[in-house]
Structure 1
Amino acid sequence: MQVTINASTYELTKEDIEADFATRTPEPVTTYWVEIAGRRFPVKQVLAVATGLTKDDFVSSRAQSVLRRLGFDVKSSAPGARGRVPGSTRTFAGVEWGLATAPDCYEEAPSGKLHLPGCAHGVGTPVRTWSPDETLAAWRNAPDVELRLQTDPGWCSDCAAIRGATDPVSPATPDDKPGRTGRAERQAISEAARLVLGPGLRGEGSVFDSGVVTWTAETARALDRAMDAASTDGTFRDRLVQQLAGQPRAVVLLAAELCFVQRLPLVNVLPQTKRRLLQDVLDVLDDKPPVPEQVVDALHTLGVFNGGQGFNQQIPQHVQWLCRFIALWDGLAEDAREEALDDPWAFRARAREVGDDGAPIRNSLLALVWPTYFERIVSAADKQSIHEAFGAALIDPSGDVDRDLLALRDRLDPDGHLDIDWYTSPWREEWRAPKAVIERHGWAIPAAIPGRPLVAPALDFDPGEPVERRSIRDAALRAGAGRRPIEDVLAQIDAATTFYVTMQSGDQVFVNDDQSIHVGVIGDLTEGGERPVTWWPPVAEADVPHAVLDLLASNSTISDAHYLLNDPTPPGPVALPEATPEFAARLHYDRAWLTDVIELLDERRQLIFFGPPGTGKTYLARALADFVAPGGAVKIVQFHPSYSYEDFFEGFRPTVDDNGTATFRLAPGPVRLLAEAAAANPSVPHVLIIDEINRANIAKVFGELYLLLEYRDAKVSLQYSPEDDFRLPENLFVIGTMNTADRSISLVDAAIRRRFAFVELHPAEEPVRGLIDRWSAAREHDVSRGALLRQLNDRIGDTDRDFQIGPSYLMGSSARTARGLERIWEHDILPLLDEHYYGRMSRAEVRARFGLAALEPGVVDAGGTLEVGDELPETAPA
């Protein structure tokens, strides 16, 4: 099998590796390993020897992926990576758990809890060990009471008991992302944090230098004082490096450790940025030790929360709070530390003693140390809002937000299958303050009957006096939580709130019938619980955007269409709809990503998709336009070097008058025509698509429209119609596309860069990276070309990032056969690379490096090779 790492290709087989390692000495196992000749070898040792690379050239998860593809069984010594014992699934107090598998035994802590060997909690010196059979017998005989409160024995729910159908897995990588859950992400980040937190909390040597113990009160106070020193100008990194100059080795190492703890769980900081900060800190030392490979691997673990501007900028305060925590921790008696490591609530009590000024980093620390007890939420306000929104579902609320959030998770998701993420739909809509809404709504109601009033949705609870969402939600949670699936309860809350509270007189209703869309204006709620409707004549499906059609085809009871059919009533600001599941499925894109892009377009009014050729920029632009606007409200223009303001907006064009005399007349261009249509239909989104926007002289083409792109409420005097005051309507949206192989963004006019939001579509990044595989899977193709494309782009490399090849070239039917693939390569892909590498590589060199034969695509997952010119069998494995 061929493997590409850092643009170099290696031919590897399982047999060769096993023969090579039959006589080698295993290095110490950290977490992930494979068994060869009855011995455990770390995955990074195996891949490094097999390829001749150093271990710094790749991360552990890359090694795991390669070895799995070769047929090795990659195992883990991490407690959180174990599966559940078959047949051990049990329900305790209404909550489903499973017993995690143990390699040899369980360990009993002084508290009586059972832990897997290596667990971060509770076991310094085990009281005794329990065999797997003995443990399973105790599990089956345990009383049906809340698992976390059990004794004799007790169970560590962070390692010994597993909730839900999906057990934790190894960290995801950009190259090979397994299916993940929030639970898996929390466990993975906790395992990564243990590199620092494990030795620190137990008073052992630092991960950066095992001969130095850093978590001491003396060292923590010294770092705290150093960071209080007069700061210099520059970034936090610049200031910290100067503050650490001349400090003892332990202080510098502690600074690196605490920066690791603060930065590790952040989604919005790249692994290489995290690593660079740690290396800059370590470079203060005379020997400039490198960041250890296990720390590099940990930094590539998928983050669990977006820190936001506040969390990111408060790193100095967070590091100093952690210093004060260490000083307090080091001052505890040994039994007090053991108690805190065995009891999450005792640990939290100790953390609270440090003070409330560091609540975000304290919440982050709690989630890292106890991932199944504390939510991955650093904002105390967000925790409180969630508690208030769902508190009615609790049978016996404690008033302690953390304990109640844990109880809510058990109550709302007893089998663990939902693995609730409070920041995603439908949870966030219940607790997060809603965005400002437009004054009037259009509602898609598939069950409505044209010509009749709207009736209240069927509910399994009595909404009482439905005056606000909270009263409806509380009634539904009291009646249904724990008795019916929480998804059904939330859907009924949403439908009841929409009908009784949000829906107002003057809103519109849409319902489909026989290829037509019936539209009506809704009246006030009657005492009988109905809403009268004034129905209009039906309209054709083509007269409404696809977003409305998707909602009418869905199973939703009532959906906000974010669309109003034009009528004489002055509308509020136009709001674009969220991406529907049907829309995401059509495009094979992630729904959340599409919704983010639509929200960005809604906020900025104009954006540009940019990226290398073949990444689907124009296709996506047209699909988005059709989704948010009806067909007659979309125009597309293509820029080219001779395109001008006169072509784009308005200009004089030759014509013949009634007398047959040649003359010129002022004629509107596509922008003016679309702007006039949008102004005449202010409730309907209108979209202008500008394909290859960077190929024209943008400043010349846009002229005075520059101002209007930024200030939609402004008016300008026009170049050819100075008597007219012109403005761009709020409901006119602009989507541009830009090929980075033609021109870098840095060369685009700065005024345009300020006025447009830029969204990258790149073969190395999602959602484009996995597009070809999702597309192939949806069509049940036996062949996917995703691995082949990734291999080509790995060879092109990051240096020529803007010239990597997009998936569109390999998504046609011809790409599924060897001959068709050969034609695509010869006539589409290689000419692009010839042009790009002109002057650097000869034509022969381009083919030697990037040719189809050089890449040896093979039948990707079957382990075979494909001779160019052969036909792929239709039954070839995907």
Structure 2
Amino acid sequence: MDETARLWVQHSLLGDRSLTDPSRDGVWTVDVLRDLDRRFNGNPLVSGEGDGTFAGKWAIQLEHAGPELVLLAAEVLLVHFLFVGSVTYRGKLDVINATVAGTEVTLDPESVPMQAMRQGIGHPGVGFNTRRDLQVGYLIDFCLRLKELGRDERAVLLDDAWALRDFADKTDKPLREMRHIVLHLLHPETFERISSGRHKREIATAFGDLAETSGLDVDEQLFAIRDKLATLMPEGNASGQAIDFYHPPLRVAWESAGDSGEATGDLEALEWKKQIVLYGPPGTSKTYQARGLAETIIRRAALHRWGFKNFIERAELVEAAVAANVFWVQLHPGFGYPEFVRGLRLDGDRTRYHPGLLPSVVDRYHGQAFPDGLAALPVVLVLDEINRTDLSAMFGEAFSLLEAGQRGREVTLPGSNPDEQPATLALPEDLYLIGTMNEIDQSVETLDFALRRRFLWRECPFERETLLEIIQDRWAGAVRGVPYDYAAEQLARFADHAERLNIAISESAVLGRAYHVGHTYFADIVFFLGIWLSTRKSRPANGGYLWRQPRDQPQPPLLDLWSRSLKPLLEQYLAGVDDRDEQMDRFRRVFLGQ
């Protein structure tokens, strides 16, 4: 990959030659780039054109293009894909080969740049793939603006990492993942292997105490932090004595779930509001994300309050605090104020008021004691499925303490035992609340607006790329003897069909977006594939792991997933609907591809 970046600079950005065939000149010229910019950035197509896909629109925008423009367009996509590890090599090739299909342009699959696409060093996230138009548009704009400079000026700029950073930001195009990728490709020693602005901010926040970072932008902060980490961790935390923020023990101190793009992250939101709700359809990993977020809050506080040395050397103590300071409650209609705040319970032969879960969590915070005077750490209360009870009634007097500026204020709780002073409750600044909510839960209580405004909210939708990441994570443990790459092409198609099924659900007059099928339902395909493949002596012919080639018929694992997981769920959604059979038949055909 480094060699490809060097060739890109030498042949294409400083010169005008092709990236994949340096013997061919006149490709990366200002005129050809202007033509591509005019066709793409100057002619955005509406959502329905070109089948609504990037590839379809790209084909329309390149109609009647000459060979130099076609080759340039293909190589722009190559650079676009170079960093990406979340798209398979075959998937990258399909998009690039479709660009040159039907033209005289050919690409050498054995060239260094084409082979470099096999590597992939990062996962840019959902936004990178769903808004490929913005990513490619930024890349075209960057290259055109650079090429419009004189060669000597280009050479100086490309050699100066920070001047190049300023140049990269001087555009009216959205600064998204491609901005970070371009800077890393051109100066990997200065800019991190990070394609997310949010990740950069969260890392800088987590490790900012290690270096003097005031007055620096986020890239400069990370550079200073890395320099300090190199002295603290001389053996690195990744292969080749490298420092990598995506490897333990660094990763656990900053990473939270959610979109990895440029928007505000969950950790940032919690620092502001102290309360957040993750909501969406069932099976979209809300509980998993809530757990990870809760744990990261505590680990990051340990890093800040105990210092880097203690965070690394006392990792077991940190993890013990994580286990002790995260409280979890599954809410249900029978869980209310007496269980959460304060209620009467039998105590021998009499009834007495006893504290509920919330005061116990507060007591845990105040009762922390760590060795060597280490500071107390936050406590996190996760309220799973918050709309399955009357949340306002459950909070009672504590409701007002969720308001901004009310942490630390005491309220007196009703009812007191004869031999005790009236009970009071105050919520510490270090108490965080995370809620999860299934929008379609049929036993739900509505949340009033006064309660809603005390929380920040983040949707957890179905996302194709997230599904593929979950499948890849589970693959080795469920499918023996078959590398993931062997089935990657059909799994990518499987993710496409999952996405199409959810689109069909959105279009249903009686369902809609809230009834989307979540990742966890689709991810069971790994289990069914593992069972099926374990009974076979040979792998499926022609890579037909999910669809049998050449007739394109569904294989048993796909049929099992439909009949044992998806069909029962959708039938429940459509219970009592007059045209249930017709809708189920449509959903089946969309998902199975029949």
Which residue pairs with 2:337 in the alignment?
A: 645
Distance 1:776 1:560 in 2: 19
2:504 matches 1:809: no
Asked if the contact 1:608–1:757 (Cα under 8 Å) also holds between the matched residues in 2, the reply is yes
2:170 and 2:332 mapped to 1: Cα distance? 57
2:449 matches 1:739 = no
Letter in 1 for 2:411: V
Alpha-carbon distance in 2 for matches of 1:417, 1:744: 54
Deviation at 1:692, TM superposition (A): 0.8
Matched with 1:694 is: 387
1:5-404 pair list within 5 angstroms? 91=10, 98-99=17-18, 115-116=31-32, 119=35, 166-168=78-80, 302-303=133-134, 370-372=144-146, 394=160
Aligned residues of 1:106 and 1:116 also touching (Cα < 8 A): no
When residues 848 and 771 of structure 1 are mapped into structure 2, their CA distance, relative to the original with a 3 A threshold, is same
Q: 1:88 to 1:559 in 2, by over 3 A?
A: closer
Contact 1:633–1:686 at 8 Å: present in 2 too? yes
Alpha-carbon distance change, 162 to 413 in structure 1, aligned in 2, over 3 angstroms: farther
CA contact (8 A) 2:345 2:354 kept: yes
What SS does the corresponding residue of 2:35 show, helix, strand or coil? Answer: coil
CA displacement at 1:371 relative to structure 2: 4.0
- Where 2:501 maps in the other structure, the secondary structure is helix
Q: Does 1:619 align with 2:288?
A: yes
Structure 2: distance between partners of 1:162 and 1:821 = 34
Q: Retained in 1: the 8 A contact 2:33–2:144?
A: no
> What's the C-alpha RMSD, in Å, of the aligned pairs?
6.3
* Letter matched to residue 793 of structure 1: N
Per-residue CA deviation, residues 85-143 of structure 1 (Å, 9 max, x unaligned), is 9x9867379968742689xx9889xxxx7743973799xxxxxxxxxxxxxxxxxxxxx
Residue 271 of structure 2 aligns to a residue whose secondary structure is: helix
State whether residues 332 and 389 of structure 2, in contact with CA within 8 Å, keep that contact through their aligned partners in structure 1. Answer: yes
Paired position in structure 2 for 1:331: none
Whether the 8 Å CA contact 1:88–1:98 is kept in 2: the answer is no
Residue of structure 1 aligned with 2:448, choices 749, 753, 759: 749
Q: 2:414 aligns with which of 719, 722, 727?
A: 719
- 1:666 aligned partner: 353
Query: Is the Cα contact below 8 Å between 2:384 and 2:436 reproduced in 1?
Result: yes
Q: How far does residue 849 in structure 1 lie from its aligned partner after superposition?
A: 2.8
Shift of 1:372: 3.3
Q: Does 1:494 align with 2:222?
A: no
CA distance 1:844–1:394, change in 2 (3 Å): closer
CA shift for structure 1 position 805: 0.6
Distance (Å, rounded) in 2 between the aligned partners of 1:839 and 1:429: 46
Aligned to 1:844: 581
Question: Whose strand proportion is higher, 1 or 2?
Answer: 1
SS at the partner of 1:610? strand
Give the CA deviation at 1:806.
Answer: 0.6
- The residue that corresponds to 1:578 in the other structure is 254
- Change over 3 Å in CA distance of 1:556–1:624 after alignment to 2: farther
| 2:546 aligned partner | none
* Pair 1:791 & 2:496 matched: no
- Structure 1 unmatched runs, 5+: 1-84, 123-155, 185-269, 271-298, 306-363, 376-389, 444-466, 474-486, 501-508, 513-549, 564-575, 657-661, 859-864, 866-878
Alpha-carbon separation, structure 1, partners of 2:353 and 2:283: 38
The structure with more helix, counted as a fraction of residues: 2
| Aligned CA distance change for structure 1 residues 717 and 824 (closer, same or farther; 3 Å) | farther
**Partner residue in 2 for 1:761:** 460
SS at match of 1:703: helix
Of 360, 367, 386, the residue aligned with 1:680 is 367
Amino acid at match of 2:499: R
Counterpart CA distance in 1 for 2:387 and 2:230 is 47
Looking at CA atoms only, which structure, 1 or 2, has the larger radius of gyration? 1
The one-letter amino acid of 2:592's match is P
Native 8 Å contact 1:374 1:402 kept in 2: no
1:610 to partner: Cα distance = 0.8
User: Deviation digits for residues 190-226 of structure 1, max 9, x if unmatched?
Assistant: xxxxxxxxxxxxxxxxxxxxxxxxxxxxxxxxxxxxx
Shift of 1:741: 1.4
Structure 2 spans left out of the alignment, 5+ residues = 39-67, 97-126, 150-155, 172-178, 299-321, 369-374, 478-482, 533-554
- The CA deviation at 1:792 is 2.2
1:701–1:402: structure 2 CA closer, same or farther, 3 Å change rule?
A: closer
Measure, in 2, the Cα distance between the counterparts of 1:753 and 1:431: 27
1:834 aligns with 2:571: yes
Partner of 2:186: 416
Verify the 8 A CA contact 1:793 1:805 in the aligned structure 2: yes
Which amino acid letter does the alignment assign opposite residue 517 of structure 2? I
Partner of residue 602 from structure 1, selected from 260, 265, 271: 271
Contact 1:652 / 1:665 at 8 angstroms: preserved in 2? yes
TM-score (norm 2): 0.54
Q: Measure the CA separation in 1 of the matches of 2:378 and 2:365.
A: 7
2:262 and 2:515 map into 1 onto residues whose CA distance is: 24
**Secondary structure of residue in 1 paired with 2:576:** coil
Aligned with 2:146: secondary structure? coil
Closer, same or farther in 2 for the Cα pair 1:836/1:418, shift >3 Å? Answer: same
User: What amino acid does structure 2 have at the position aligned with 1:167?
Assistant: V
Contact kept in structure 1, 2:345 and 2:351, CA below 8 Å? yes
